[in-house]
Chain A
Amino acid sequence: MSIVTLDPTTGFGSGEEFPLAPRPESLKGQVLGVVANGLGDSEAMFDAIAAALTDADGLAGVCKVVKHSVAVPPQPEQWAELLAHATVAVTGFGGCGSCSTRSMRDALDLEAAGIPAVCVVHSALEPAVRAMARLVGADEYPVIVIDYPHNPTAVWTKEESAMLAAQVLDAVRLRLTR
């Protein structure tokens, strides 16, 4: 006796290639959007990244938004502010399950809006953000990974945040330019 069953899933992946936003030659004159989710002490790291890129690369400005919860999209007014001002962007910190995947989605949404972006995540959550990237067909979308011994949930000292900013700076520069 043959039995037919219906598939209960919605499947995975759009099947279409996800186009990345065109990258500028350098960060000079660009406005860095920072989409911070407020996880732990990670905001300090993003502030340090923005300050360092302003000094070293000649950013024209920084447009930072701190989301109202760790794993939700930016508020509509925050999103409008980003679209109005940011020309490149960094999102994160991807150190918890829902916030890492949402931060990845923030980066992908920025890319779809024409703003080159990169998400900073912890190695513990890399499989999660990879799954989020696969959802939209951006399987190979690069992320910047922070590893142990640094705490995934960004319970960091002030010095640690500054050190991590310095550690990822080159990668941020690389991912946001061509």
Chain B
Amino acid sequence: MSFVSDTHSFDSFEDALEGQFELGVTDGLPVVPPTPERVAAMLAAGDIAGETILGEVPTRDVVVTAEKVAINAVMAGCLPEYFPVVLAAVRAFLQPLANAHSTTATLAGAAHAVIVNGPIRHDIGVHGGQACFGPGFRPNATIGRALRLVIRNVCRTVPGVLDRASFSWPLRYSFCFAEDEEATAWTPLHVKLGYEREQSVVTIQSIMRLFQVTEFAPESEEILTTAYEVARHMGLQRDEWAGDGRSVVLVIGPEHYRRLVADGWTKESIADWMYPRLVADTAGKFDQKVTLASPDNIWIVTAGGPGIAQSWWFIPHLATPTHELILR
């Protein structure tokens, strides 16, 4: 297999490891040296030619090819069988409404959540249960990291250059998890988006703010009340360009969905109940309108482990969530 990328030669594995730091192409952590053999294996697993264009960032004159994504996936530590998920994540990130330039150059340091649905979760082990937002799960850690390395190395989002985040964010190392579809009888996110349950799908949501919803009350309406009050803490202004597709994601944890399911709530009824409360006029500095076009803009996902009564909001940057079928 031939490649168009420049090459770098090193005398040893250790030199190659350190050499990636000297090249300025890591996220600050060591990376797997992207040898041609490893990159070829990645492309083969994705059944894709290196020259295939996955998308563009027009503001930066960036064209993203499968070869560059495969190199970064190797560096992130992905196994080849993860690569179809990485490809779908990159394609979703490069959809115009994901607003790749804005969400990665922003002072606010927006992150991106990679949410995986469908059978591939089990095939490769993308975790959606206990501790799924954090470290310890290779597919989660490396798929999310591969997207971030693509954002850095291919899309030129280097801190101090086109990454202008004032603080940036730990979520920018990696943030990928699966929906725990089997936890409830609720409709999985990808099925709500129009896919078949047997299909595997990646959803990308930019995250401007990550809000924890902790509510121990057993009453389901109290849980939902706390949730919308938390979301209204800083509100969400309309962005004309992102338009009516701009959405919030609510990740509901098991202690909450257990109570909600027991009281007959569904994803649809939760969104219907919450929508008018979220979009009510601003009533104070920490009680602000969350501008959404309809209840369909409240995307609900189930994930996390038992114990604390907790859920999480992903409040977007200037983008809409996007999704892509995982091809394999």
Contacts and interface: CB of A to CB of B under 8 A. Distances in A.
Interface of A: 1-10, 12, 14, 67-73, 96-102, 105, 125, 127-128, 131-132, 135-136, 152-153
Given A3-B16, A8-B153, A73-B58, A128 B164 contact: yes
Contacts of B7: 4-7
Nearest to A69: B241
B102 A8 contact: no
Interface of B: 3, 5-13, 15-16, 19-20, 23, 25, 33-36, 39, 58-64, 67-68, 71-72, 75, 99, 101-107, 149, 153-156, 160-165, 239-242, 318
B164 A5 contact: no
A114 B138 CA distance: 51
18 contacts: A1-B12, A4-B36, A5-B8, A6-B5, A7-B7, A8-B68, A8-B149, A9-B68, A10-B154, A69-B102, A69-B240, A69-B241, A73-B58, A98-B164, A102-B59, A127-B161, A131-B156, A135-B61
5 interchain residue pairs of minimum CB distance: A97-B164, A69-B241, A71-B102, A68-B241, A98-B105
Contacts of B239: 68-69
Contact of B9 (A2, A97, A128, A136): A2
A136 B59 CA distance: 11
B12 A102 contact: no
A94 to B, nearest CB: 10
Nearest to A130: B161
Nearest to B239: A69
B105 A101 contact: yes
A132 B241 CA distance: 22
A98 B106 contact: yes
A3 B9 contact: yes
B16 to A, nearest CB: 4
Contact of A6 (B64, B71, B240): B71
Contact of A128 (B33, B103, B162, B240): B162
Nearest to A131: B161
Nearest to A6: B5
B61 A71 contact: no
Contacts of A9: 25, 68, 153-154, 156
Nearest to A75: B241
Contact of A3 (B10, B58, B75): B10
Contacts of A98: 101-107, 164, 318
B164 A96 contact: yes
A90 B186 CA distance: 52
A153 B107 contact: yes
A5 B34 contact: yes
A6 B39 contact: yes
Contacts of B13: 1, 3
A97 B12 CA distance: 39
B105 to A, nearest CB: 4
A154 B33 CA distance: 44
Given A6-B36, A9-B68, A101-B101, 14 more contacts: A2-B9, A3-B33, A3-B35, A4-B10, A6-B3, A6-B34, A7-B8, A10-B62, A10-B68, A10-B154, A97-B165, A98-B102, A100-B164, A132-B162
B99 to A, nearest CB: 7
A5 B102 contact: no
A102 B241 CA distance: 14
A96 B10 contact: no
Contact of B60 (A7, A69, A96, A135): A135
Contact of A101 (B10, B59, B103): B59
A7 B24 CA distance: 11
A72 B165 contact: no
A101 to B, nearest CB: 5
A4 B102 contact: no
A66 B264 CA distance: 47
Contacts of A4: 7-10, 35-36
A7 B62 contact: no
